[in-house]
Amino acid sequence: MIRKRWVLGICIMSGLGISCSSKMMSYSGDKVFKSSDGIPDYSKVEYWAAHPDKWDPSDTVPLPLRKGSLDKEVDVFFIHPTTYTGAFPEDQPNASIDDSTLNYKTDYTSILFQASAFNERARVFAPRYRQAHIQMYQEKDTVKLYSAFNTAYNDVKKAFQYYLDHENKGRPIIIASHSQGTTHSIRLMKEFFDGKQLMNQLVCAYMIGMRVKKDQYEQIPVCTDSSQTGCFVSWRTYRNDYEGEWVNRTDTTTAVVNPISWATNNELVDKSFQKGAVLYNLNKAYYHTQNAQVEGNALWVSHPKFPGSFLYRTKNFHAGDINLFYIDVRENVSKRIDHYKTLHK
């Protein structure tokens, strides 16, 4: 009964980017495993939410986008957002790596609906990690706050190092992340790529859902067009009449890229240029759903138009940062891969 109520809760909270699937509704317990010390062991595929050596939800291709099998020419290292939500246990600021219910939630929300956007021409690696609870973003005790996020980041770092040592073999790399995942990818990019040898293998970093400074890195610039490589993109999505503490329309320090035009200017890009969204049903794609404009430290969009959208009242589209532009992202990944290949013949 508890599991049924949890699944129903996920359905109700599905919003723009997360929904129910038949696989979620028929949970078979395949996320049940137990570590000896509570620390992820990345030599074992169960500690990866997505990995090429197993089928996982990141392998899903929305029905309208299926083109047959394509070569997996690059690798995507995807860092999932916070799924450790709900009641906050004060004595457990970080998620247990062995929490089967949480792992299942991660796999059939973020991995299914977000990581899958990157799978057309790439192998997807997405580590499980001891993520910080969502409430840690509001924690006033800085020692506790930094400890929680350092624990999470150190898992991500360990996973990426394992990937480099055992899986990469010189292949081009895309870093992709959302929300808390971007909190960690900001550090990962600095430590492994900025001014480092690995920059030569960077196709692009899609660092979405958190503020990233334009000058965050010494040698990795913000992407300014749709094919540029060795750069990063970032945006946070709000309805154009949203007002709140997270946004500042005069901030000129934050990197914001428009995922319709892939430009950084403040031109309003009409929805007729938007490639398409994949929302709560992977068998459906919705085209030309909203326009988009960069202003200050955020991306502003019109109210998206899709069946039932009149019921969607929120003005903060954080949950849909990727899904509102799912096809735009998918096609852009392919374009940047082509450009990278041209430059590295």
What pLDDT digit, counting tens, does each position of 219-254 carry? 999 999 999 999 999 999 999 999 998 999 999 999
268 CA to centre of own chain? 24
The end-to-end CA distance of the chain, in Å, is: 57
Distance CA 174, CA 163 (A): 13
User: Residue 205: pLDDT band by 50, 70, 90 thresholds?
Assistant: very high
**11-68 confidence digits (pLDDT tens):** 323 334 333 343 443 334 456 778 889 999 999 999 999 999 999 999 999 999 998 8
- Strands 122-127, 48-50: pairing kind: antiparallel
Calculate mean pLDDT across residues 149-175.
98
Listed by start position, the domains of the chain span 2-237+318-343
**304-334 confidence digits (pLDDT tens):** 998 888 888 899 999 999 999 999 999 999 9
Q: Of 33-42, 97-106, 118-127, 273-282, which gets the smallest average pLDDT?
A: 33-42
- Helix and strand numbers, DSSP H then E, in the chain: 7, 9
Distance CA 38, CA 98 (A): 7
For residue 293, which of 269, 316, 329 has the smallest C-alpha distance?
269
Calculate mean pLDDT across residues 267-296.
97
Both tokens of 102, joined, read 């949480």
Calculate mean pLDDT across residues 68-88.
95
Please report how many Cα atoms fall inside a 13 Å half-sphere around the Cα of residue 95, on the Cβ side: 28
Both tokens of 343, joined, read 């430059």
Distance CA 219, CA 56 (A): 35
pLDDT at 24 (0 to 100): 40
Average pLDDT for the chain: 91
CB 77 within 8 A of CB 163: yes
Q: Return the SS3 of 285.
A: coil
State the Cα angle at 127 between 99 and 262, rounded to 5°: 125
- Please enumerate in sequence order all residues whose Cβ is within 8 A of that of 321, keeping only pairs 6 or more positions apart, or say none: 17, 178, 179, 208, 209, 235, 236, 237
CATH number assigned to the domain covering 2-237+318-343: 3.40.50
